[in-house]
Structure 1
Amino acid sequence: MISKRFAMTLLLLSAGVGSADDDRDASLFEIQGSVDFEYSRDRVDFDSPAPSASFSDSLLTVQLELDGAVDSGTGAHLLIELQSEEDEESAIDEAFVYVEFDRWQVVAGRQYLPFGRFDSLFGTDSFTEFAEIRATALLAQWKFSPLWRIDTFVLDGKIDTRGKPDADFGLGVERSARDESWSVGFGYIGDLAEARDSILDRDIRVTARRVAGWNLHASATLGDVGLLLETMTALGRFAELDADFDRPSAATVELTHFLSRRLSYAVRVESSRELEDAPRRRYGVSLQWQPLDQFGIGADFLIGRFGPGRSIDEDDDVNRTRQFFIEFSLDF
């Protein structure tokens, strides 16, 4: 959402400042929220003489965030999200408690796990976000030096595997510069089927085998320019998917230029393999403007191209998609 993206903008512009944990508000209780309205319009071009087709969609999202702290190292976080679309999941987005001591942080509850980076100025998701994981989990983060961090987690997922324990696990390693101007990282998840936007059909709750996944990411900032590279890959094949889409992977490169504190743009190039309904390649540009501290506007334009056997229609006839996306965000 725009509020999160502009927070990232300010963070990148002030590279060298301490982490978000270091800047945590000392107040015992804090409440904030946002209202976001999104509108998208897609145009589909066919290989055949058939005319192009267009369709549009809109979404209203309200978020309410509550944070409470016993002291500077112990607290709780709750994020409630309500959306206008009936098929969108609405209710508790995050709900966890955390404890920090020395170089450790332990987080327990419903949370987004540190598998993948997903930093982006765009309002539209990158292809790599097919593997974003949100689950009830126990996460331990160990910053054993100013430059290195290790994440380990165990999650109670929504997908079970025949003959295997219910719990899944993952880990990550990240190396960053002292001034946070660059970082590189690696992540591993024991079962990609646990992705928030399920790779499998929603009615599948038991799988024949677990399919692990790995992630590599790197980011850097130089002055007012930021660069992100990320790849996400399944390490095996899903028995429940068609052979053409049973081992999904994706990669993205995004370059961001912060023209000022309130105006920025980004360009993105990304690709996918065996990712159902996704173009083989996609290119896009995003413009973000924040005229007021609490109000922002973002607009994306993307062009996707399909390869043989990758079309989103039964006739394998779609050649190109063009998408326009705009978002208005108000924080309170």
Structure 2
Amino acid sequence: MKKLIMSLMFMVLICIALPAMAQNSIESNKGSADQKPGGVKSLEKRIKQLEEAIDRNVESDKWYDRIQVSGLVEVEAGYSKFEDNNDPTADTDESDVDLATVELVVDAKIIKHVDGHVMFKYEQDDLFVDEGFITLVGTEAFPAYLIAGRQYIPFGYYDSHFVTDPNTLVLGETNQGAAVAGYRFGGGMVDLAVGAFNGEVDKAGEDNAIDSFVAAVTIQPLYFLMAGMSYTSNLSSSDSLSAAIEDIGVTELNDLVGGWSAFVTVEFLDRFKVIVEYVAAVDDFEAGELYDTTDTQKRKPTAWNIELGVMIIEDLELALRYGGSDDGADFLPESQYGAVVNWGFFKNTSLALEYLHDEFEETSLAVDQEADTFTAQLAVEF
């Protein structure tokens, strides 16, 4: 049944897209690619915003001329149906409408090669500093950079057309105080980055110190093709994974568990975009370190995400997702599929309508669950 639904969705997508494919030129697609509505903010989008702030030419010495303020407001309405096939009494139906996210970003141009960046964020009834760092950049002849402070380390890519985060982001996204140094060459086609940080999860018997590192390479040989790989020595310190470990009362691991990631994105026929990403642990978590302290098996979680998006007409996008995981228990769905429509009906204003179906299954932990979620998101950027 699942395969049939996915096949029908794909056929509908193609039938809608084919009559319009000849209407846009490659150049017009290049110009509008960054203005498509909807989507999770990927690492690439964060880097582009930072580059724009750094590249600003400011003639004035007045402090207020050196400040750039931007932001995001997201309001979401949702309905979810959860079914536990092992315990029907745990089945739930929930719906809500609320302020989901507020971001306020302040970029300060200090001098030509120095920029200060702060992002304040409101999410899940908490107000906090999500990012705060100083960036030092080199010259055209020596395109090196250093980012020091609280930041999203360059592990994973996490691009998405959807409102809901992909499994890859849930498994790997890491926000930490870190120092990341990088170098770009080939006119920006290749980016190499390395960094160090003190992870949220420590190795048993070790001091609380800077003991984790990250390395990444990203290439963009053509404007429509981007690919990359990254490695972190401490995947267990990702935001979601470290919280899951803490929730079961584990404070230290026998060994830190590293992770690796690979992605590729391709845009073609003027309006299609394919996103493929894979994130995986390099080693096993020992029994009882992840999901449940009574678990008798080692765990090696992996996650993947595949999306196909098409711009039906200007500012109207339809996308499909198929994702999943291994060793995800009830933390990551074993399979996930769905569709989203993103409509940019005013400038910097978009409406997204999303449906996702998740299936969680892990026999040894008696996990057999399903969830259907419908989400409507109204977002404004400024």
Match of 2:152 among 112, 115, 119: 112
1:171 aligns with 2:215: yes
Per mean C-alpha deviation after superposition, the further-off stretch among 200-209 and 250-259 is 200-209
Alignment-derived partner of residue 246 in structure 2: 201
Partner of 1:200, secondary structure, is helix
Structure 1 residue matching 2:33: 3-state secondary structure: helix
Cα distance change, pair 195–317 in 1 and its aligned pair in 2 (3 A)? closer
**Structure 1 position 94 matched with structure 2 position 131:** yes
Conserved? CA contact 1:12–1:221, under 8 Å: no
* Aligned residue among 11, 19, 22 for 2:34: 11
Contact 2:329–2:362 (8 Å) recurs in 1: no
Secondary structure class of the residue paired with 1:90:
strand
Which of 179, 188, 193 is 1:138 aligned to?
Answer: 179
- C-alpha root-mean-square deviation of aligned residues, in Å? 2.6
- Aligned partner of 1:282 among 333, 336, 349: 336
- Partner in structure 1 of residue 199 of structure 2: 157
Over the matched positions of the two proteins, sequence identity in percent amounts to: 22
> How big is the shift at 1:47?
4.2
Mapped pair 1:232 → 2:301: no
* 1:189-216 residue CA offsets vs partner (Å, 9 max, x unmatched): 0111210122412454432210000001
Match of 2:258 among 212, 216, 230: 212
SS in 2 for 1:259: strand
Inter-partner Cα distance in structure 2 for 1:248 and 1:90: 31
| Residue deviations 1:77-117 (CA, integer Å, cap 9, x gap) | 1000123x34xx53100000101102111100000111101
**Partners of 2:109 and 2:74 in 1: how far apart?**
27
Give the deviation of 1:259 after TM superposition.
Answer: 2.4
SS in 1 for 2:230: strand
Larger radius of gyration: 2
Distance 1:57 1:209, change over 3 A: farther
Give yes or no for contact 1:276–1:310 (8 Å, CA) kept in 2: no
Checking the alignment, whether the CA contact within 8 Å between 2:361 and 2:368 is kept in structure 1 is: no
2:317 aligned with 1:264, yes or no?
A: yes
The answer to whether 1:53 aligns with 2:95 is: no
Q: Deviations over 1:100-144 (max 9, x none)?
A: 102111100000111101011101011111210110000111113
Question: Matches of 2:272 and 2:88 in 1, distance apart?
Answer: 43
2:76 alignment partner in structure 1: 38
- Given that 1:115 and 1:215 are in contact with CA atoms closer than 8 Å, whether structure 2 keeps it comes out as yes
Paired position in structure 2 for 1:292:
346
Alpha-carbon distance between aligned partners in 2 of 1:82 and 1:34, rounded to the nearest angstrom = 10
1:13-33 C-alpha deviation (Å, 9 max, x unpaired): 7xxxxx652684334211122
Alignment deviations for residues 235-280 of structure 1 (CA, whole Å, 9 cap, x no partner): 1122312355721111111111122342112111011111132321
How many Å separate the matches in 2 of 1:317 and 1:22? 46
Structure with the higher helix share, 1 or 2: 2
Q: How many Å separate the matches in 2 of 1:217 and 1:109?
A: 26
- Higher mean C-alpha deviation, range 258-267 or range 56-65: 56-65
Given that 1:29 and 1:67 are in contact with CA atoms closer than 8 Å, whether structure 2 keeps it comes out as yes
In the alignment, the residues of structure 1 paired with residue 277 and residue 252 of structure 2 have an alpha-carbon distance, to the nearest angstrom, of 30
How far is 1:330 from its partner? 2.1
Matched residue, 1:4: none
Q: Which residue is equivalent to 1:16?
A: none
Q: Find the aligned partners of 2:304 and 2:32 in 1 and give their Cα distance.
A: 22
Contact 2:215-2:230 at 8 Å conserved across structures: yes
Report SS of the residue matched to 1:10: helix
Among candidates 104, 109, 116, match of residue 69 of structure 1: 109
Work out which of the residue numbers 45, 56, 69 in structure 2 matches 1:25: 56
Query: How much has 1:59 moved relative to structure 2?
Result: 4.4
Residue of structure 2 equivalent to 1:309: 363
**Partner SS for 2:313:** coil
Indicate which of 228, 234, 245 corresponds to 1:191.
234
Alpha-carbon distance in 2 for matches of 1:183, 1:110: 26
Q: Work out which of the residue numbers 99, 103, 122 in structure 2 matches 1:82.
A: 122
Change (3 A) 1:317 1:247: closer
TM-score normalized by the length of structure 2 = 0.75
- Taking structure 1 as reference, are residues 316 and 185 closer, same or farther at Cα in structure 2, changes over 3 Å only? closer
> 2:306 is aligned with what amino acid?
V
Unaligned runs of 5+ in 1: 1-7, 14-18
* In structure 2, C-alpha distance between the alignment counterparts of 1:216 and 1:12, rounded to whole Å: 25
Q: What TM-score, normalized by structure 1, do the two folds share? A: 0.85
Q: Residues of 2 paired with 1:273 and 1:328: CA distance?
A: 33
Letter of the 1:113 partner, please give it: I
